[in-house]
Amino acid sequence: MKTNFGKTNFALMLGALFCAVFLTGCHEKTATAEHAPVSVKVKTVEMNSVSNGLRYSANIEPMKQVELAFKVGGYVEGLMQARGVDGHLRDVQEGDVVAQGAVLARVRQSDFAVKVNQAESQVAEAKSGLESGQAQFAEAQSSITSSKAQLAESEAAFGKARLDFERAKNLFASQSMTKADYDAAKTQFEAAEAKRDAARSQVAVVEAKAASAQAQIEMLRAKVKGSQAVVAEAAIPLRDTALRAPMNAVVIQKSVEVGALVSAGKTGFTVADTSSVKAVFGVPDLVVNKLKLGTALTVSTESLPGTEFHGQITRVAPAADPKSRVFEIEVTIPNSNQALKVGMIASLEIAPAAPAQPLMVVPVSAIVRAKNQPDQYAVFVIEEKGGHVIARSRVVKLGEALGNTIVVLEGVNPGERVITTGSTLTLDGQPVQIIP
């Protein structure tokens, strides 16, 4: 929205001047050469490059702003400490700069630490059981190796006893072996067979024991994993007792103190990244198409007179605000020295399509109401005549007000001097005395 501050200020200043003119008009006299010179101050008519650009007011906003809320409830037991102007440590406050990851506030941890300790005890118990199960499995594996060795030995002995018994049967059938030798071979065979069967049973037993130990190990591993998950779950709210800064930032707002009872979701701090800031303003649809991303603009603020800040357009709203019908524009400005503060009002100008034309300007204080033309304005121009300095009233046509000056379209020439102080006490043709 284009500002009309210049014209408004001009109207107010002229109103004040005309009141003075009215008061002095009651004592108006015809200027004669006998009037005593009036002390006045003068100013030379200058040429000024008047821009026809559009000026807008913008709000300074942070590049990023975050509200930090507690994820768990409890009593606040501590705030971040910062060094004050007196050199002593104090609680963090608004305006302090904080680093990413810094703990700004902490809720009492004891209530949450108990649950973590309980979960860690369950993990330790499960790990102890796992170690015991693994020892039993190792023992079973060793027994399997020993039993299989015994089985191999007994099977070798059984093979030999079986061959001896087969030979004994043949010899006994041909009556080449006595009954006693045959019975001895048979007994030895049966003993070897029994030993082999016992060894096979022992292998089966220790293998079953090893399988059971393996199953127990898997169960204990699952228990350890489950207990560790419980620890991790219990550790989350314990970590959440600390309210941390998510970035390098400035504390914009603080709403918590030590000892306060906070609930989950309560905002404790609002922090903002102001290393760069945004100048945000709105423009109508007739202007928005003239603004492109990356366009460089210059921003100034009355709080820092004479200082200009340079930035680029980084966002053009794709749709107008439904209430104001303007399109929001963002200009990103580097702010490493933190000169621009959040909430400042800035002004900027969108350059016109054509270059600015130089126009004559005079101080607003030089403007008076024309004597014989109440609807016109005039100035007193200094003339030198017969060794005297004379004030001559001259009707002028005015243009746009520019701060404490105003454009004069007609009536004066560059380089002429006009009265700026004492014009309300001066008459046309009256001698004047110029003072510094």
Higher pLDDT, 295 or 117: 295
Contact 428, 34 (CB under 8 A): no
d(CA 421, CA 434): 10
- Superfamily for 54-105+249-350? Efflux pump adaptor protein, beta barrel domain (2.40.30.170)
Q: What is the CATH number of domain 112-239?
A: 1.10.287
Pairing of strands 38-44, 432-434: parallel
What is the residue type of 332? T
The average confidence (pLDDT) of the chain is 84
In sequence order, the 6+-apart residues with CB closer than 8 A to the CB of 80 are 91, 92, 98, 102, 103, 104, 105
Give the C-alpha distances (Å, rounded to integers) separating 197 from 161, 192, 194, 202.
14, 9, 5, 9
What is the rounded average pLDDT of the residues 23-40? 56
* Half-sphere exposure of residue 260: CA atoms within 13 angstroms, side-chain side: 15
3 state DSSP class of 367:
coil
User: Taken in order 194, 198, 199, 203, is the CA torsion positive or negative?
Assistant: positive
Q: Would you state the structure tokens that stand for residue 95, as one six-digit string? A: 């305006």
Where exactly does CATH 2.40.30.170 map onto the chain? 54-105+249-350
Most confident of 42-51, 105-114, 418-427: 418-427
Place of tokens 């966002």: 315
Where exactly does CATH 2.40.420.20 map onto the chain? 5-51+355-434
Higher pLDDT, 268 or 175: 268
Name 44's bridge partners. 417
Q: What is the pTM of this model?
A: 0.52
Where exactly does CATH 1.10.287 map onto the chain? 112-239
What is the rounded average pLDDT of the residues 12-35? 44
Q: What is the DSSP letter of 393?
A: E
Q: What is the CATH number of domain 5-51+355-434?
A: 2.40.420.20
Say whether pLDDT at 33 is over 70. Answer: no
